[in-house]
Amino acid sequence: MKKILGCLALGLVTLAASAQWSNPGADIPAYNAKAPTRPLPAILSGNQLTGEYFTHPYQAITYKMAAKIPAVLHQQPCYCHCDRAMGHNSLHSCFEGTHGAACSTCMKEAVYAYQQTKKGKTPAQIRAGIEKGDWIDVDLEKATM
């Protein structure tokens, strides 16, 4: 009986200790809740979309899509968590340099945001879809044709 109570107590302590990591909404990466109030840094374009980071057509096309919706990307989180590793403050930051071309998460989220913008969705609605993981099934090869 003591073993059962001991295991039960250990289980409850483990459950209580892990509760801080069980909130799915608590791990949302950095984003900006409102549209930018000043000009954003430029998204790479033109001749910048060549070289070792742009070996697949969908990489350059994704950047071109991103350039059409900079304010929307400014309001989206990036689930590769580059906010932690690189100090990014939104999905827009990924496309200011070559990081977006090297990361399928960034590209899929940007393509998803572009597609949803074309469907008339607001940045907040797009963010809700990104937070739910609706971008995960984006096929970069097909979506950028």
Q: Per the domain annotation, does 11 fall within a domain?
A: no
Q: Per the domain annotation, does 22 fall within a domain?
A: no
Q: Per the domain annotation, does 16 fall within a domain?
A: no
Q: Per the domain annotation, does 132 fall within a domain?
A: yes
Q: Per the domain annotation, does 23 fall within a domain?
A: no
Q: Per the domain annotation, does 59 fall within a domain?
A: yes
Q: What is the pTM of this model?
A: 0.81
Residues 6 or more apart whose CB falls under 8 angstroms from that of 79 comprise 29, 105, 109, 130, 133, 135
Residue 131 belongs to domain spanning: 29-143
Q: Per the domain annotation, does 58 fall within a domain?
A: yes
Per-residue pLDDT tens, the chain, 145 aa: give them.
555 544 443 343 343 333 333 344 458 999 999 999 999 999 999 999 999 999 999 999 999 999 999 999 999 999 999 888 898 999 999 999 999 999 999 999 999 999 999 999 999 999 999 999 999 999 999 987 7
Q: How many domains does the chain have?
A: 1
- The owner of tokens 């909404």 is 25
Q: Per the domain annotation, does 96 fall within a domain?
A: yes
